[in-house]
């Protein structure tokens, strides 16, 4: 291809198709134009809305400080795209180079970016999931429906699953004065993402915030009344919670079904791609015209043993969108890898939680600043003698320092004696992550092994 003008032609008059019109899709479209792409750009999205931002949906919107329909993403530049909204991509023909749409249309491409993200995992019992008052939270429509119900002043809200989203929902409800029960199968909230040491702090925050927090239990059934409204939930410890609003926060499922049978290396764990966001086919051969970005992608990360990482993080979607856009239009020598250190934030119970690296890979944790008791601290995560991640509770300004330790593969425990000296010494302790074979709710980072053709699922729902 080199030197034969194909890339120049692509840049001038090629056809680029983006499937998924959300954060990664929009940012990629903008980046393609930034890179000088002058050809035709089509963005396909199954939601009827223009690209919008999701983090406010479990925060500002549920607090009543913004409305769900008004979190559209800012446009950082004009993209001059054809938007095909409200229609899903239903198939991919790799040989012919075209995307099939649910309305029967076909859209040919020279380069394809897949950014179809994830969707909320529904309550597994279908009839129970359909009861009035049972919600999930992923889309702006979900958020609008839940916010409306919260406005009506329910008797009690039951949140199933205390990952980040579930915990943020519980926090917003408490702030509005609503009675809340949280049921979590793990030993503590956030335990899958941050481990038991930090999870215990999250549990204290919830209880002090007035949440009726039940850990180590599963919801076994939801019960409705004659009119089909949810009334109660049965728990595995034999207890019953009377509730009229249930929010199912059991993590997410990757939107890859539409690629089944296409020959692309896509499955329930996401779309396997190389560090440059190029997707693998099921034979483990990297394609040169299909890219993936955002929540749906899983890429090997050099800093984390080249494990394929699937990250459900805002920053990851933005970064991968740019990488994919650049690489699509570049010669192989000019391609760049996605090397960003994973990072995310969450705000709940008045505390700002931030994290860098991959805490869930760690075995040990060391509190290097502040204290767990004060809920203002930095915890550093260690794995095989290396700093692998860090988390801060109301100590976010320090994270860039720890990010550098991760980037430079600094030894764990870190070389500095203390950052702020406290009695009690500085000893790493077991980070207390749950057995990885037992699924927790919403870890947001998934280490998904090495095989691009892997189609196994790991999640087995309760029951």
Ligand X SMILES: Cc1cc2nc3c(=O)[nH]c(=O)nc-3n(C[C@H](O)[C@H](O)[C@H](O)COP(=O)(O)OP(=O)(O)OC[C@H]3O[C@@H](n4cnc5c(N)ncnc54)[C@H](O)[C@@H]3O)c2cc1C
- Which residues of the chain form contacts with another protein (CB under 8 A)? 48-50, 53, 55-56, 59-60, 63, 65-66, 70-87, 101, 103, 105, 314-315, 318, 343-345, 347, 350-352, 354, 376, 394-397
138, 174, 354, 386: which one binds ligand X (CB under 6 A)? 138
439 sits near ligand X (criterion: CB under 6 A):
no
What tokens were used for 267?
């499955």
* Nearest C-alpha neighbor of 263 from the set 284, 243, 291: 284
**At closest approach, how far in Å is the CB of 317 from another protein?**
12
Please say which residue, 5 or 48, places its beta carbon nearer to another protein: 48
User: Residue 104 touches which of another protein, ligand X, none (CB < 5 to 8 A by kind)?
Assistant: none
Query: CB atoms < 10 A from the CB of 114, how many?
Result: 33
> Which of helix, strand or coil describes residue 435?
coil
In the bound state with ligand X, the residue whose beta carbon lies nearer, of 85 and 187, is 85
Interface segment toward ligand X; rule CB under 6 A; list 54-62, 204-212, 357-365, 405-413: 54-62
| H-helix or E-strand spanning residue 16 | strand 15-19
- Cα distance between residue 89 and residue 102, in whole Å: 6
317 binds ligand X (CB under 6 A): yes
What tokens were used for 183? 């049921």
Question: Per this entry, what is the length of the chain?
Answer: 463
Q: What is the DSSP string of 224-259?
A: E-TTSBEEEEEETTS-EEE-SEEEE---EEES-GGG
Nearest distance from C-beta of residue 39 to another protein, angstroms: 15
In the complex with ligand X, the residue whose CB is nearer, 361 or 366, is 361
Per-residue contact string for residues 107-126; x = within reach of ligand X by CB under 6 A: --------xxxx--------
Place of tokens 């990072």: 343
CB of 376 to another protein, least distance (A): 8
Query: How far apart, in whole angstroms, are the C-alpha atoms of residue 184 and residue 166?
Result: 9
Determine contact, residues 347/341, Cβ cutoff 8 Å.
no
Q: Where are the alpha helices (H) located in 116-159, listed in sequence order?
A: 126-129, 140-151
Residue 27 CB, shortest distance to ligand X, in Å, is: 8
Question: Is 383 one of the binding residues for ligand X (CB under 6 A)?
Answer: no
Q: Residue 229 pairs with which residues in a beta bridge?
A: 132
Q: Which option in ligand X, another protein, none does residue 24 bind, with CB closer than 5 to 8 A by kind?
A: ligand X
Radius of gyration (Cα) for the chain, nearest Å?
Answer: 23
For ligand X, the binding residues (CB under 6 A) are 19-25, 44-47, 54-55, 57-58, 88-89, 115-118, 137-138, 165, 255, 258, 294-295, 312-315, 317, 344-346
């Amino acid at each position: 291809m080199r030197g034969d003008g194909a890339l120049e032609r692509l840049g001038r008059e090629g056809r680029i198709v983006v499937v998924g019109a959300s954060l990664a899709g929009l940012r990629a479209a903008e980046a393609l134009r930034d890179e000088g792409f002058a050809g035709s750009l089509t963005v396909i999205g199954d939601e009827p809305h223009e690209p919008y931002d999701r983090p406010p949906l479990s925060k500002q919107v549920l607090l009543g400080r913004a409305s769900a329909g008004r979190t559209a993403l800012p446009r950082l530049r004009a993209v001059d795209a054809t938007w095909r909204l409200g229609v899903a991509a239903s198939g991919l023909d790799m040989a012919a180079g075209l995307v099939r749409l649910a309305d029967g249309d076909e859209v040919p491409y020279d380069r394809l970016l897949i950014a179809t993200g994830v969707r909320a995992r529904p309550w597994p019992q279908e009839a129970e999931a359909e009861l009035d008052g049972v919600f999930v939270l992923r889309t702006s429509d979900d958020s609008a429906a839940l916010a409306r119900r919260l406005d009506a002043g329910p008797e009690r809200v039951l949140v199933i699953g205390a990952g980040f989203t579930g915990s943020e929902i519980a926090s917003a409800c408490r702030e509005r004065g609503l009675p809340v029960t949280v049921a979590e199968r793990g030993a503590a909230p956030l335990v899958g993402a941050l481990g038991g040491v930090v999870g215990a702090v999250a549990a204290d925050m919830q209880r002090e915030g007035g949440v009726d927090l039940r850990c180590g239990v599963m919801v076994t059934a939801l019960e409705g009344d004659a009119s089909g409204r949810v009334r109660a939930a049965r728990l595995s410890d034999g207890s019953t919670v009377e509730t009229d609003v249930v929010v199912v926060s059991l993590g997410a499922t990757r939107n890859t079904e539409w690629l089944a049978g296409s020959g692309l290396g896509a499955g329930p764990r996401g779309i396997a791609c190389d560090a440059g966001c190029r997707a693998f086919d099921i034979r483990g051969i990297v394609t040169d015209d299909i890219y993936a970005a955002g929540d749906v992608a899983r890429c090997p990360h050099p800093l984390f043993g080249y494990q394929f990482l699937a990250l459900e993080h805002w920053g990851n979607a933005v970064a991968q969108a740019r990488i994919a856009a650049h690489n699509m239009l570049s010669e192989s020598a000019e391609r760049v890898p996605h090397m960003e250190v994973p990072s995310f934030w969450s705000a709940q119970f008045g505390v700002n939680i931030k994290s860098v690296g991959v805490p869930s890979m760690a075995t040990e944790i060391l509190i290097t600043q502040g204290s767990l008791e004060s809920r203002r601290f930095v915890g550093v995560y260690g794995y095989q003698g290396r700093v692998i991640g860090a988390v801060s509770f109301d100590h976010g300004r320090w994270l860039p320092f720890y990010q550098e330790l991760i980037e430079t593969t600094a030894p764990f425990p870190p070389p500095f004696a203390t950052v702020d000296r406290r009695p009690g010494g500085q000893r790493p302790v077991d980070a207390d992550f749950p057995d990885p074979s037992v699924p927790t709710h919403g870890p947001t980072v998934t280490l998904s092994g090495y095989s691009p053709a892997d189609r196994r699922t790991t999640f087995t729902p309760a029951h």
